[in-house]
Amino acid sequence: MDKIIVRGGNPLKGQIPISGAKNSALTLLPCALLTDEPLTLRNLPRLADIDGFQHLMNQFGVSTSIAGARPEDFGRVMTLQATRMTSNVAPYDLVRKMRASILVLGPLLARMGEAKVSLPGGCAIGNRPIDLHLKAIEALGAEIEMGGGYVKATAPKGGLPGGSFTFPVVSVGATENVLMAAVLAKGTSTLHNAAREPEIVDLCNLLVAMGAEIEGIGTSDLTIHGKDRLHGATYRVMSDRIEAGSYACAAAMTGGDVELLGAKANEMEATIAALRASGVLVEETKGGIRVAHNGPLKAITLTTAPYPGFATDMQAQFMAMLCMAEGSSVLTETIFENRFMHVPELNRMGANVETKGRTAIVHGVKGLTGAPVMATDLRASMSLVMAGLVAKGETEVSRLYHLDRGYERLEEKLQLVGADIERVGAD
């Protein structure tokens, strides 16, 4: 297994290109199941999860081709075409490593009238049930059966009639899944208390580009008028607001000055507000967002929440940054119960973080010391790399398969701005 070696002490300075959003791309790819015409997605990040989803789409008989795949390029262009579907089953072997695989349930059901999907896997950051996915799809008229580790959804003869559903709690994945099912329903569907993350807006915009009719985009109340068919489209994946926020925190904690090319300030307002509260300079540029160290970092209090609140996907990175702040910060995690698994690893490097249930108290320290550490999930792995950037000596981060699921060519991007970082093969 590969490892990343980081030698700390270098401020990050320069420009970092921000890749297409992983969390959006994994939602846009299954839209190819909704039409027999080509769907071309631009700005797809080169990630293990994208490759895994491509293999899953091939399982259904979807043809995929990649254009302009030069090794030195960030991002790819992929064309998918589901002219003739050969399967409606998402098997365990392809689904178990990636939770986003459940997102094929809605479009498969809408297109083929039946879908059988293995229960998904993903990061071990807490309980992530799919009950809301199933209840919302049931509300559109589907019949749901569970058994043998699979979910089977069946539409009535003639297709899904459509319906109305109110989410008892906000769920990004369930909103995405039922949206893709509803666009081919026979009638009108309404969703209340729907998630409104920028990635949901990106999905809606693609579906509209394919001929769907959706009202209320960007709000928590969506009305979807079902269509008999959708057509192909060419669409650019939005930039990754979580990747941009991660590099922003890294620049701030190393005393750096970085321009995040392609980042969109309007998509990461809560992250920017938290950075500014910490004493970091953040300003928009023609090319994206500039983030610069602006004096000592300040302790803050943060609570994760659904969009437009502070994203749970940014909690670990802020924790790493706040290890270098003056005073004690308080981070409360309301989304996933096991999202503090990186705390023991940070403390091995000299951090002073206490956890009490879903709250972490981060006492700022004078400095960190390099150590061998192990990634426990995707965002935790990034927090450990960030800690290594400021630590005295050498930090060795192992279990990189987490990192490779969500950060495109991380070490290359950090090298661009002066980090002493490299990937090495295990002994």
Residues identified as active-site: 123
| Strand partners for 13 | 257
Annotated binding residue 23: yes
Question: Which has the closest alpha carbon to 268: 251, 299, 291, 252?
Answer: 291
Q: Is 221 annotated as a binding residue?
A: no
Closest alpha carbon to 314 in 368, 361, 249 = 249
* Residue 205, annotated as binding a ligand: no
Angle of helix 269-277 relative to helix 241-253, nearest 10 degrees? 10
103 is in an annotated binding site: no
Distance of alpha carbon 134 from alpha carbon 144, whole angstroms: 7
335 assigned ligand-binding residue? yes
CA pair distance 241, 309, nearest whole angstrom: 13
**Cα torsion through 103, 185, 31, 155, rounded to 10:** 50
Q: 130 a known binding residue?
A: yes
CA–CA dist 125, 144 (Å, integer)? 27
The span from the CA of 381 to the CA of 373, in Å, is: 9
Structure token digits, residue 199: 């990635």
CB 45 within 8 A of CB 240: yes
Binding residue positions for phosphoenolpyruvate: 22-23
Binding residue positions: 22-23, 99, 128-132, 313, 335
